Amino acid sequence: MFYIKKYINVLYWIAMAGIIFWFAYSKGWIFANFDSIDAKQAIEMIEKDDDNITLLDVRTIGEFRTGHIKDARLIPVQELTENINMLEGDKHKKILIYCRSGSRSVVASRILKDRGFTPINIKGGIISLMGAKAELTK
């Protein structure tokens, strides 16, 4: 009986380590092959009106309609792989990516990086952008 409890305890800690690892990976905290910036840095880049930057919103259509950054393109993260050709003209540009809270933009950043783009993830998504007083449009 002692060995069974010990075995279950080891399995428990392995599972917990796996969950922590998955969470850190999904947030882009580990193994991120792309840059991330905070909302204030993103707003500064956007306000420079640089032609070398493309804004990409990877939320759903419904979320996009509630408000988005001016001139942002919408490609929901679920549809990004099959619609990657919509960004081919921007391959030489930096692509600022945001979602609602920052998780989907990490996924999108990984997809774009793997296909030769230069993604920059906006940490905290549109929630942090609104907190930093970013101007939204509908």
How do the residues of the chain divide into helix, strand and coil, expressed in percent and rounded to 5? 50, 15, 35
Q: What is the pTM of this model?
A: 0.81
Q: What is the pLDDT of residues 1-46, one digit of tens each?
A: 677 888 888 888 888 888 887 777 777 777 777 899 999 999 999 9
Q: Which residue has the tokens 């933009």?
A: 105
Active site residues: 99
Separation CA 91–CA 54 (nearest Å): 10
